[in-house]
Chains A and B, each alone.
Chain A
Amino acid sequence: MIRFEDVSVTYDGATEPTVRGIDFAVPEGELVLLAGPSGVGKSTVLGAVSGLVPHFTGGTLSGRVTVAGRDTRTHKPRELADVVGTVGQDPLSHFVTDTVEDELAYGMESLGLPPDVMRRRVEETLDLLGLSDLRSRPIATLSGGQQQRVAIGSVLTPHPEVLVLDEPTSALDPAAAEEVLAVLQRLVHDLGTTVLMAEHRLERVIQYADQVVLLPAPGEPPLLGPPAEVMAVSPVYPPVVDLGRLAGWSPLPLTIRDARRRAAPLRDRLADREIPDRTPPAAPAASRPAPPALRPAPSRRWRRGKRVETPAAASPYAAEVRSLAVRRDRVQALRHVDLTVSPGETVALMGRNGAGKSTLLSALVGLVEPSSGSVRTGGAVPHRTAPRDLVRRVGLIPQEPRDLLYADTVAAECQAADRDAEAPPGTCRTLLTDLLPGVTDDTHPRDLSEGQRLTLALSVVLTARPPLLLLDEPTRGLDYAAKARLAGVLRSLAAEGHAIVLATHDVELTAELAHRVVLLAEGEVIADGPAADVVVASPSFAPQVAKVLAPRKWLTVAQVREALA
């Protein structure tokens, strides 16, 4: 159905081809997963299928790509629209119209299908994807998972033979990801659609793949084969494969079920070992970054009276939230939330898209004002503290780290960060070099990879040495290597006495890092306790290792490795 013949792509201005020697074929009706570390050209390969590379992006493509017998050299993307459906990384930039039903019809309108056919297919697709209750809703009001399903639906209605998806589940919570994958599974099984998709979160998708195309490193030719064989040699692999490699299982298990069936001997071996302890070491008070004294309130607050915040008696907590409620746009985003975070502790906030995780983080940095209840971070009330003071008490890395970066070189960004934080010149640059060696001063922040950009934003925020560090969805778009580096950095920050709060969908990261997990649903805390207890109790938030080695509370492969050593 899709055939690559010795394809290499060189973008304009690049000296080296981005991908080289791509030569494989995807048979009809298969779900093929494109895997590999960041920056190996997965998106380029996907773009070549829909003809966007090179017709839209520019650059030179040598070799030949054919889709359903059509050569992409002679067919523009719009002429392939009836055989290839493409969904990019960000569903929001995919939508042309404003309501669900119109969006589903848009592609068919472009192809000129008769009205009665369009009507029938829209109804079918609404049912297939479970969208019929949302048909007349404005797309902007949908949740992330719903938007992703609408994006997939909108390319399904013209009945393409090939579906190309770039990171379809990365931004979704575990349940919404399951929803999207179930739909893909159904398309492949019932309609015989050929699916080619790239995804970093292999633990979510590997079990659905018929074949895996592995791009091991930039410029290297791809490896094609059954998932178990490819995973045996892959530089990127999910925890279940890691556990399988550790235990020496062959063939490697790809699903929890396979692994559990083989895990009985391993469980026996681990039965009398102690699970490595993960409670935070009590950081010596002296080493703790202490919040600086508050300046007098800025003059524009005169309306609230000249009441200077009395620095409260040093609170034992880095953050203290008491019966917090927040209303945003007539929606009760948070209700009656209590939360305390101690220095040196890492807390993971989990819950569906829209459960209030980001709002809670925003309240902790004073971006939203509580409608009732109180928030204190390091003795200050965040939304009444001047930004210049606040940066030294709490730092937030937003979902899109790029929002924090304004300058056009790394060096300028670091200097600005020193100025903003009133830190000695060079503080930020030293931090960055520690966290991420090998970034040159004159690089544009936009040219960094996702992981590098996140680290730069982290250094910028850490320049002010805030005792409380907040991260919103930090692993979006990171590959396993970048994630492991981030986990290492955060672990050492916690050891130094920083309190860390992560809002994340990534159960494996939570298992790796968190001492405590707080589950949110509809703006309320529904569980708060040690990570091992909370995640193991929930099927959708349990990490793979915990599922394989249940009932004991092993969370990560690292723990197992340590116990066996």
Chain B
Amino acid sequence: MPRNGQPAQPTGNGAAQAPRPAGGRGALHPGAWWLWALALGTAATRTTNPLLLALLIAVSAYVVVTRRPHAPWSRSYGAFVKLALAVLLIRLLFTTVLGSPIPGTHTLVTLPEVPLPDWAQGIRLGGRVTAEGLAFTLYDAMKLATLLICVGAANALANPSRLLKSLPGALYEMGVAVVVALTFAPHLIADIQRLRAARRLRGRPDRGVRGLLQVGLPVLEGALERSVALAAAMDARGYGRTADVPAAVRRTTAALTLTGLLGVCAGTYGLLTAAGGTYGVPVLVAGVAAALGGLWLGGRRTVRTRYRPDRWDARAWLVTASGAAVAALLFLAAARDPAALHPGVVPLVAPSLPLWPAAAVLIGLLPAFVTPTPETAVKEPS
């Protein structure tokens, strides 16, 4: 087995067979997964072709299934898929009930229309439901659903706490707060489950909303106690130790950060108003530079060091590039052949799969072949 931490060679099957840590060292940089997934999501915004969108979902799902580590955070994918389905259904329901602005001739069903008073003009309840209207909504909602599923894929593939560890030193304490909050949620859910089970032991119904409400207070109490215990443990382990920094450096840091932020505000304002076209860009750039300088100087106050930070290696570049290529090619396709990427609904035609954009989407499968296989789960009951 290759030693963990050394970037494994992407030599195809040989390297991919070796067991790898679950989202730990040797895994891909979490930032690369996020860029890849967001690029796929961006690509999804360029098309309403349901076949292309389904292909995008299939590509991200295949990568998730083959490369998802067996860790608690990776179970969130299912939740995102459910959310996406809910979005689809809600949109379709609204179109059915409230009608659609799309003119259509294929009436599927006519619902009884509720007469509404004058002030509610423009709103319709019930009435004709057309195939064109439903198809239009379906295409549009699928776009959003694909975007959600792509975000879910990033969540399942990248360890959120390792991503936060890549933050600059000055933002470290904020990162820890987020990590603690992230580990807090599963504990809270476990608490709720345990206490609802305990209700059954008292002879009270353990299901339903009331059951959930009545355990609220004990759950919060337990959560609060756990946070206090964790805070004590973190304090005793040296959290928040700071280095002595000369007063001059401290003042410079504060000044740089403040002027930087002001500069960013002024620059953005300048860019957005007609009059400030000339000074907008330089002020914005100077502001960003000053803010970054402030962050860098502020990092000197923390004495922290990093233990085996994730490396941005060749595989990370490949994964990011594959996502970016999908997005770029779909942008190009949308510009050159808008008809194929946005199949019409009036008149209603079956969408066809445009060949070369579909081939472009398949580039997104690359991570399934160049990244290491996750280790198989060995969960011990506790």
A320 smallest CB distance to B (angstroms) = 20
**For residue A81, which residue of chain B has the nearest CB?**
B238
Q: Does B186 contact A (CB under 8 A)?
A: yes
Identify A56's interface contact among B21, B204, B232, B238, CB under 8 A: B232
Within 8 A of B (CB), among A64-102: 76-82, 84, 86, 88, 90, 92-99, 101-102
CB distance A108 to B202 under 8 Å?
A: no
A82 in contact with B307 (CB, 8 Å) = no
List the B side residues contacting A387 at CB < 8 Å. Answer: 199-206
Q: Across the interface, which residues of B come within 8 angstroms of A15, CB to CB? A: none
Nearest B-chain residue to A154, judged by Cβ: B237
| Residues 206-230 (chain B) with a chain A CB within 8 angstroms | 206, 214-215, 217-218, 221, 226, 229-230
Please name the residue on chain A nearest to B307 by beta carbon.
Answer: A105
- Please name all residues of chain A whose beta carbon is closer than 8 Å to the beta carbon of B206 when the two chains form the complex: 387
In the complex, which of the residues B195, B200, B240, B377 has the most CB atoms of chain A within 10 Å of its own CB atom?
B200
Min CB distance, B210 to chain A, in Å? 13
Partner of B232, one of A52, A137, A141: A52
Q: Does B379 contact A (CB under 8 A)?
A: yes
- Is B236 on the interface with A (CB-CB < 8 A)? yes
Say if the beta carbon of A109 comes within 8 Å of chain B.
Answer: yes
**Assuming the A-B contacts A105-B307, A122-B307, are A110 and B381 also in contact, with contact meaning beta carbons closer than 8 angstroms in the complex?**
no
Taking the complex as formed, is A443 at the interface, i.e. its CB lies under 8 A from any CB of chain B? no
Q: Which of B101-118 contact A (CB under 8 A)?
A: none
Q: Measured between alpha carbons, how far is A366 from B197 in the docked complex, in Å?
A: 10
Residues of the A chain whose Cβ atoms lie less than 8 Å from the Cβ of B251: none
Interface segment among A273-281, A325-333, A531-539: the answer is A325-333
B178 within 8 A of A: no
Does residue A32 face the partner (Cβ distance < 8 Å to B)? no
**Given the known A-B contacts A93-B230, A97-B161, are A420 and B235 also in contact in the complex, defined by CB atoms under 8 Å?**
no
Please choose the segment from B40-48, B144-152, B298-306, B346-354 that sits at the chain A interface, where 4 or more of its residues have CB less than 8 A away.
B298-306
Partner of B306, one of A80, A109, A402: A109
Shortest A372–chain B CB gap in Å is 18
- Among A80, A112, A119, contact of B308 (Cβ-Cβ < 8 Å): A119
Q: Please tell me if B249 contacts chain A, counting CB pairs below 8 Å.
A: no
| Chain A residues whose CB sits within 8 angstroms of the CB of B14 once the complex forms | none
Residues in chain B near residue A56, CB distance under 8 A: 231-232, 235
Complex formed: what's the CA distance from A169 to B201 in Å?
28
A398 at the interface (CB under 8 A from B): yes
Q: Which residues of B contact A406 (CB under 8 A)?
A: 214-215, 217-218
Tell me, in angstroms, the Cα distance from A87 to B214 when the chains sit together: 33
Residues in A whose Cβ lies below 8 Å from that of B205:
386-387
Known: A98-B183, A118-B305, A365-B200. A354 touches B381 (CB 8 A): yes
Determine whether the beta carbon of B382 is less than 8 Å from that of A144.
yes
Pick the residue among B239, B241, B380 that contacts A142 (CB under 8 A): B380
A366-B303 Cα distance, complex, nearest whole Å: 53
**Which residues on the A side are within 8 Å of B161 (C-beta)?**
97-98, 102
Contact B236 A86 (CB under 8 A): yes
B71 at the interface (CB under 8 A from A): yes
Does B71 contact A138, Cβ atoms closer than 8 Å?
Answer: yes
Kindly state the separation between the CA atoms of A51 and B72 in the bound complex, as whole angstroms.
Answer: 34
Q: Measured between alpha carbons, how far is A86 from B380 in the docked complex, in Å?
A: 27
- Bound state CA distance, A97 and B4, in angstroms? 19
Q: Knowing A331-B381, A396-B201 are in contact, say whether A77-B236 is a contact too (CB < 8 A).
A: yes
Residues 134-190 of A at the B interface (beta carbon under 8 Å): 135-138, 140-144, 147, 154-155, 158
Give the contacting residue for A398; candidates B22, B72, B198, B226; CB below 8 A.
B198
CB of A93 within 8 A of CB of B233, answer yes
Given A112-B304, A330-B379, A367-B197, A420:B236 Cβ within 8 A:
no
Whether A395 and B201, one on each chain, are in contact in the complex, defined by CB atoms closer than 8 angstroms, is yes
- Beta-carbon contact of B235 and A96 below 8 Å: no
Identity of the chain A residue whose Cβ is nearest the Cβ of B226 in the assembled complex: A93
Q: Are B237 and A81 in contact (CB under 8 A)?
A: yes
Within 8 Å of chain A (Cβ to Cβ): is B174?
no
Distance in Å from the Cβ of A136 to the closest Cβ of chain B?
3
> Is the beta-carbon distance between A96 and B305 smaller than 8 angstroms?
no
Shortest beta-carbon distance from B154 to chain A in Å: 18
B238 touches A82 (CB 8 A): yes
Alpha-carbon distance between A106 and B306 when the two chains are bound, in angstroms: 9
Residue in contact with B25 in the complex, picked from A78, A80, A101, A155, CB distance below 8 Å: A101
| Complex interface residues of chain A between 409 and 434 (CB less than 8 A to chain B) | 416-417, 420-421
Given contacts A81-B241, A112-B305, contact A141 B200 (CB under 8 A): no
**Contact B380–A391 (Cβ < 8 Å):** no
B residues near A79, Cβ cutoff 8 Å: 241
- For B222, the closest partner residue in chain A by CB is A402
With A78-B239, A81-B237, A138-B22 already in contact, the answer to whether A420 and B204 are too (CB < 8 A) is: yes
Question: Is A113 interfacial (CB 8 A cutoff)?
Answer: yes
The residue on A at minimum CB distance from B165 is: A102
Contact A141 B306 (CB under 8 A): no
Closest A residue by C-beta to B162:
A102
A111 at interface, CB cutoff 8 A: yes
Interface-central residue, A94, A136, A356, by most chain B CB under 10 Å = A136
Q: Contact: A52 with B21, CB < 8 Å? A: no
Q: A78-B240, A110-B304, A406-B218 are in contact. Are A96 and B200 (CB under 8 A)?
A: no
> Is residue B194 contacting chain A, with contact meaning CB distance below 8 A?
yes
Taking a contact as CB atoms under 8 Å apart, the answer to whether A99 and B203 are in contact is: no
> What is the CA–CA distance of A79 and B237 in the complex, to the nearest angstrom?
9
Which residues of chain B (77-119) have a CB below 8 Å from chain A? none
For residue A536, give the distance in angstroms from its CB to the closest CB of chain B. 28
B375 on interface, CB distance cutoff 8 Å: yes
B381 contacts A155, C-beta separation under 8 Å: no
Tell whether B63 is near chain A: CB-to-CB under 8 Å: no
Asked if A403 lies at the interface with its beta carbon under 8 angstroms from chain B, I say: yes
Instruction: Please measure, in the bound complex, the distance between the C-alpha atom of A300 and the C-alpha atom of B382, giving whole angstroms.
Output: 33
Q: Which of A135, A359, A396, A402 contacts B4 (CB 8 A)?
A: A135
Is A378 positioned at the interface, with any CB of B under 8 Å from its CB?
no
Across the interface, do B379 and A88 meet the contact criterion of CB distance under 8 Å?
no
Residue pair B229, A106 in contact (C-beta under 8 Å) = no
A108–B239 CA distance with the chains assembled, in angstroms: 10
Verify if B334 is at the interface (C-beta below 8 Å from A).
Answer: no
CB of B126 within 8 A of chain A? no
Question: Chain B: which residue is nearest A399 at the CB level?
Answer: B194
- Does the CB pair B201–A136 fall under 8 Å? no
A358 nearest CB neighbor, chain B only: B381
Rounded to whole Å, the gap between the CB of A418 and the closest CB of chain B is 11
Asked whether B197 lies within 8 Å of A106 as measured between CB atoms, the reply is no
Q: Is A404 an interface residue (CB 8 A)?
A: yes
- CA of A92 to CA of B184, assembled, Å: 11
Q: Would you call A460 an interface residue if the criterion is a C-beta within 8 Å of the partner chain's C-beta atoms?
A: yes
Cβ–Cβ contact A110 & B239, under 8 A: yes
Residues of A within 8 A of B237 (CB): 78, 81, 86, 96, 106-107, 110, 154-155
**Residue of B whose beta carbon sits closest to that of A111:** B238
Do A141 and B382 contact each other (CB < 8 Å), given the known contacts A77-B235, A112-B305, A464-B203? yes
Assuming the contacts A86-B233, A93-B226, A406-B214, asked whether A388 and B71 have C-beta atoms less than 8 A apart, the reply is no
CA distance A477 to B186 in the complex (A): 26
Q: B72, B201, B230, B235: which contacts A138 (Cβ < 8 A)?
A: B72
Is A96 in contact with B307, judged by CB distance below 8 angstroms?
A: no
Give the CA-CA distance A95 to B236 in the complex, in Å.
12
B375 touches A136 (CB 8 A): yes
The chain B residue sitting closest to A139, CB to CB, is: B183
Chain A, 256-283, CB within 8 A of any chain B CB? none
Known interface pairs A110-B304, A403-B195; 6 further A-B residue pairs with C-beta atoms within 8 A, sorted by A's residue number? A111-B238, A118-B305, A118-B307, A136-B375, A366-B200, A400-B194
10 smallest CB-CB distances across A and B, nearest first, come from A81-B238, A136-B21, A391-B203, A136-B24, A112-B303, A105-B307, A110-B238, A93-B229, A403-B198, A420-B203
List 8 A-B pairs, Cβ < 8 Å: A52-B235, A96-B233, A109-B304, A331-B379, A362-B197, A388-B204, A391-B201, A402-B218
